[in-house]
Amino acid sequence: MIKRAALIGLGTMGPGIAARLSRGGLDVAAYDVSDVAVERASGMLDIAGAILDRLDIKAPASGAGTVRFVRTLAETVDGAELVIENVPENIDIKAETYRAIDPLIGSSVIVASDTSGIPITKLQAHISHPERLVGMHWSNPPHIIPMIEVIGGEKTAPETVATIRDLIRSIGLLPVVVKKDVPGFVENRVLYALLREALDLVERGVIEPEDLDTCVSWGIGYKVAVIGPMALLDMAGLDIYKSVSSFLNADLSNRDDVAPMVLEKTGLSKFGIKSGEGMFSYTPEQIKALQGERARKLVAVRRILEGQE
């Protein structure tokens, strides 16, 4: 069983991943090229730990693991049985990371990428033991959302996929094995299909952004949190789906470029919460309140779905 993990790249997901792995009993060495990212991650650990407490996620009988922040790649991967790459979503940056760690790790060490959608097969071209490279896609926030996608590339050994699947399960999370290495895997393909239609409806003036969010959160989202899409088809009836999709599918957005609304806003450096404005505008006080409120609600929903309340 894997007991020592290295986490390269802290960013948005890093603190939650480190906290959840250590709560599961793993010792984690964490690294980022940015001192600011390291300082932020260090400050987030206690917050993530408090949320794990609220979820009643306990350490194994052997005890919780540790998280230590280190200053070099060599120190990060030293003795690690699993290396999780969590650097920016850019294939060149990821390839550079693999080339840097390649001479520092043994052939038995598993390297898992937290890429959101770059095919694992493409990443395997940049590492000397591609059979040990696997996708391990966490969902944000990673210390709250229990589902993790496991993706093998063309050269990933079946035992590598099995090891990561079993590790995820052993620390109380939910592994989902994606059987084909398609761009975006499964979670983001479904999400981006929804976002494409949502943006199209707003751009066409069918609905205001606030009402679109209400419609999805309290309609689709409320149901899908309890009844997955395949089960929902059965609940609604495949005959109904056949009838409605026969005319509705032809009218759904099928654009294969980026929505003009997104291009316009990103061109003005309006990226969302990180810049204070995106689809909506945010004050620093609102951002802090939103983060706390959303975490609280996600915790409450998860406890209910798990039958804890």
Asked whether 147 and 174 are in contact (CB, 8 A), the reply is yes
| Spatial separation of the C-alpha atoms in residues 41 and 19, rounded to whole Å | 10
Q: How far apart are the first and last CA of the chain?
A: 33
Cis peptide leading into residue 15 (ω within 30°): no
Output the known binding site for NAD(+).
Answer: 9-14, 32, 89, 94, 116, 140, 274
The helix-helix angle for 187-203 and 260-267 (nearest 10°) equals 90
CA atoms within 13 A on the CB side of 100: 17
Please give the C-alpha separations between residue 101 and each of 78, 107, 119, 154, in angstroms, as whole numbers.
10, 11, 20, 21
Output the known binding site.
Answer: 9-14, 32, 89, 94, 116, 140, 274
Please give the C-alpha separations between residue 175 and each of 2, 32, 138, 151, 226, in angstroms, as whole numbers.
16, 26, 10, 10, 18
3-state secondary structure 199-249: HHHHHCCCCCHHHHHHHHHHHHHHHHCCCCHHHHHHHHCHHHHHHHHHHHH
